[in-house]
Structure 1
Amino acid sequence: MSADEQVFVIVGAALAGARAAEALRAEGFTGRVLLIGQEDEVPYERPPLSKGFLQGKDAREKAYVHPREWYDEQDIELMLGRRVVAVHPESRTVTLDGDEQFAYDKLLLATGSVVRRLDVPGGDADGIHYLRAYPDSAALRAALTADPKPEVLVVGGGWIGLEIAAAARGYGCPVTVVEADRAPLRRVLGDELAALFQQMHEANGVTFRFGTGVREFGSLDGAVRSVVLDDGTELAADLVAVGVGIRPATELAEQAGLDVDNGIVTGPDLRTSDPHIFACGDVASTLNPLLGRHLRTEHWANARAGGKAAGKAMLGQDVSYEQVPYFFTDQYDLGMEYCGWAGPGDYARVVFRGDPAVRDGKAPEAVAFWLTDDDRVVAAMNINIWDVQDDLSALVKAGLSGTPADPARLTDPAVPLGKVLQG
C-alpha cells in the first residue's frame, strides 16, 4: 500500500492529538489523517483554563493550537463533537457514536484524562464546579465575577486548586482551601516548597483547612450553601471548586485489550502492546529511558512534546521519548518552572540558591534543587528567575545519568548555572 492510501486515526483532539497531526504532515505523510475529538472546540491548550483565561487576562482563541482553517489547509479531517466508542485491533477499525466505522493503518490514542469527582451527599448541587474544559472555565469565571462576591471554597490543595484560589482572590472573593494533607503540594514538592506556597497564599488572604476532606454539601433551593468537613466543621460556601485530581481515560484501551497500568503502557517509542496502536499525553504510561521506569505525566509539556514524538513514531521513525518532565504555574506575583522528577523517596534533601521565603507578602526569587544522597540533581525549580530552564534541565539530565553536582556551587549565585558541573 502506498503512503497516499494509508489512513492514520488520532483519537483525542486536544494538544497532544493536534501536535501529532501536525508532525505527520511536517514529516511528509501524504495519507489520510483523521483527528477525532469529543469537544466541539478546535484543539486547544489547557493551562489557560486555570490561568490566563480564568483570570480574565487572555481571550479564548489565544489557547488554540492552530486556527480552524489550518486543519483544512493541511488536509486534516477534524471531526469535533464525535466520540469513539470502540477500537477493534483485530480488524484495525474504530467505531464512532452512531455506528460509523473507519479503518486505520496506524492509530494514536491521545484520549487524555477525566476529572475525579466527589461522591458525597449533596454533590450534585448547583455552584459546585469542576475544571477540565473551556465551558467549565467560562462558567467558573462568570461565577467568580458575580456581584456580590461569592464565598469560595476550594477542595484540593494541588496545582489546579491553588491556581483557582489565586484567581478567586484576584477577583476579590473570600477563599478557603480544604486539603487532606498537612500542607499544599507536599506530595509533589516536599515540605520546603509546600511551605512557600502556603505562605504565599496566606499572605494573599487565603485560609487553609488541612487534614480533612468533605463529608457533604448543604444546599438551599438546589444551590450549594455550605460544606461539612470530615471533622464535623461546617463552612459557609456559595461557590465550590473541586480539584482532587484526574485519572487517565483508558476505557478504549482496556476494551481493546491493550496493556493498562495507571495509563496505557507504552515503550519509549510510544507504541502500545499492539504494534499498530500508539499512545501519548496524559493517558500514556511511557517507559522513560532517562528515568529508567514508566512514567505518566499530566502536564502541558508532555502533551506538546509527546504528540510530536508520537506522530514521528507512527511513521516508523526511530523515536525514544526521554523528555525531562516539565511544568509551570503562575499564582499572584509568583511564576515558576519545574523540571525533573522528585517524588517521595526519589531525593534526600532540597537546597536553594537565594532565599525562598515570602517576605512582606512578595514572592521570592530563588532556585530550588532536589538532591539525592550522592548529590545528584533529580529536579529543579526556578522561582521568578527566568531564562535558566536550559541550564536546569542539563543539570537534571546529568543527575539522572549519574553525575553529581557540588551543593556549594549549586547554591552560590556567583557560579553561573551553566558552569556548576565544570568546577
Structure 2
Amino acid sequence: MFNCYRASQVYLWMKFLTALAGSTIFTTYSVYYVAKLGFNPLQLMLIGTVLELTVLVFEGITGVVADTYSRRLSVILGMFILGGGFTLEGSAVWLAGGTSQLSAYVLVLGAQLLFGLGWTFISGADTAWIVDEVGEEEAGSLFMRSRRLSLAASLLGIGISVGLSTLMPNLPYLAGGAIYFAAGFYLLRCMRETKFQSRNREPQDSHLRAMRNTWLEGAAVVRSSPLLITMVFVTLLESAASEGYDRLWQVHLINGIGFPDLPLSMAAWFGLIGAAETLLGLLAVHFAERRIDMGGERKLSAVLLLLTAVRIACIALLALSPSFGFAVSAVLITGMAASVAEPVYASWLNRNLESRSRATVLSMVSQSDALGQTAGGPVVGWVGSRFSIRASLLAASILLLPLLGVFGRGSRKR
C-alpha cells in the first residue's frame, strides 16, 4: 500500500497523514475545551500562549538537531511526541476524573508543551529532507501536490472529527494521536535519507559544541543575506496579521455581521464555511498547479505579490463588509489565496537556502513566526478591545503591506 522507495511518495503520505490528524483534532476542539472541560476565555488564551512560547524556545534547538545529526530522526521523533501529546490531551478528562477542573487544565497545558516540542522537531526538518532528496526544481511542484492532498485529507478529517465528537468530545484527540503514531511507524519503515551528510564532529568537540557550530553557521547564512533578514522581519508582521485574522473573523461574523435567518445552528454555519473554504482551496491549488511555473524565483515572487494583494484586499473587505454575503465571500477568497500561497512561499524560500543549514534557517524563520503570533497577535486583539473588531481586521490587513514591497522587488529582479 505504501511506497517505501520514492522520497516524493513518502513525503506525500506524510503530509496526508499529518493533515488528517490535524483536521480530526482541531475541527471540534472547542467542543472538548469549552463544553466538556469548561475552560474559560483566559484559560483558552493561556493554552495558546504556552504552545507558542514552546515553539519559540525550542524551534532553533530542534532545527540544529536536524542539521547536525539527521532530518529523518528529527521528523520521526516529532511524530511520536505529537502522538503522545494529543493522546495525553484526549485522556485528560479521564485522568483528572471528577477531582477538579484544574487537574484537567494542568494536563492539557502539559500536552501543549509536548505539542509544541513535537512540532518543532518536524518543522523545517521535513522540508529540508525532501528538498535535499528531490532537488529544488522538483520540490516546487511537489509542495503544490502535497498542499492539494493535505486539503483533501482535511475534508476527510472534518467528517471524522464531527462524527467522533458526537460520540464523545475527547475522541478526536485520541484518534488524531493514533494517526500521528501511525505516521511515525510508517516513516520508521519507509523514510530514507540518502542525500543528507551528518556533520563530522571533531573528537574534542562535545555534542553541544557541534550543535552550537551548526546554529552559528545557520545564523551566518541569515545574517549574510539581506533577503533572508528581510523575510525574517516580514514573517513577524505576517504572523501577527494572520493570528489576528484567524482569531477574529468568526467573532466578527457572530457579533459584527450576524447570520441569515435560516434553520441552521452557528456550529453548522461554521462547518459549512470551513468545508466550502477547503473545497475552493482544492480547486485553487489544482488550477495553480497547472498554471504556475514553480521553477523561477522571479515568477514565484510575482505570484506571491498577487496573492498577498488579494489577502490584504479581502481582509479589509471583511472588516468593512455591510452584509453576511460580502463577509463570507471575503473569508472564502482569503482562504483560497492562503492555500495557494503556502506551497509557493515554501518553494520560493527554499531556493534561497543552503543544504547544510537548511533546517536551521527554516527553524529561525519559524521562530520569527511564533514570535509574531505571541507578541503581535495580542496587539491586534488590543486594537479590537480599544476600538472595534473591524479596526482589528483593518490593522491585520495593514500589517501585510510590507510584503508587497518585498515580493514586488523580487518580481522585478532579473
TM-score, L = length of structure 1: 0.25
Is the strand fraction higher in 1 or 2?
1
Is the helix fraction higher in 1 or 2?
2
Structure of larger gyration radius: 1
